Copies of this chain bind each other. A is one copy, B any other.
Amino acid sequence: MRAVTEEIEDKEESLFEAPPMAEQERMIEAILFATVEPITVRELEARMPHGCDPAEALVYLRKRYEGRGVQIMKVGDAWAIRTAADLGFLMQKETVETRKLSRAAIETLAIIAYHQPVTRAEIEEIRGVSVSRGTVDQLLELEWIRFGRRKMTPGRPVTFVVTQSFLDHFGLENARDLPGLKELRAAGLLENRPPIGVIPGPESEDEEESAEGQSELFED
């Protein structure tokens, strides 16, 4: 008899100790906010201290969020926090898909940042491959680079420089704040050696582009 009632006693004890309803509301609020999936009352109960009554707390919490910017919504038999339907128009920017810049673009951008003002020919000399038109276009479109003043050399080629947007994006005050080779090495950024057998030279991804070239881009 004693052994059987032990569990019941335990339960009663913890029931007695159940946190106040306001506290239970807080708990559910935090759980609903942080969970990746909508969560059922049963799961809530399992997570919360013994004796809690998530179903009741949910009623209060739901009421509290009535008319707010977010709502406590029932999704199937589970619960979740959702943006109020009338505010959906604010959420559009959220869906911007970010993609990594291509390696060619990053390298070109890096060379412009470190060597600006720099001509296209100089970029190609440093990279060892021709710079595709798409790469330069993309960087111009991102407003990370812009045309600088022309070089006083034969042909008066245009130069590229980085923009304020570039500095903003990369959290730099000045292109001169970019770390040098020595500092890159110190930070362990130069340790990744290419696998043996990779002979530097024109990368295949760029090779086909080189024929096209961007001479038209710079004609004027």
- A209: chain B residues at CB < 8 Å are 182, 185
Which has the most chain B C-beta neighbours within 10 Å: A36, A136, A186?
A186
How many interface residues does A have (CB within 8 Å)? 69
Q: How far is the CB of A151 from chain B (nearest CB, A)?
A: 10
Answer yes or no: A28 CB below 8 A from chain B CBs: yes
Select the stretch in A7-15, A90-98, A195-203 that faces chain B: A90-98
Q: How far is the CA of A154 from the CA of B64 in the complex (A)?
A: 60
Enumerate A8-37 residues with CB–CB distance to B below 8 Å: 25-31, 33-36
Q: Which residues of A contact B (CB under 8 A)?
A: 25-31, 33-36, 46-48, 67-70, 81, 83-84, 87, 90-91, 93-94, 114, 120, 131, 133-134, 136-137, 140, 146-150, 156-158, 163, 171-174, 176-183, 185-189, 191, 206, 209-210, 212-214, 217-218
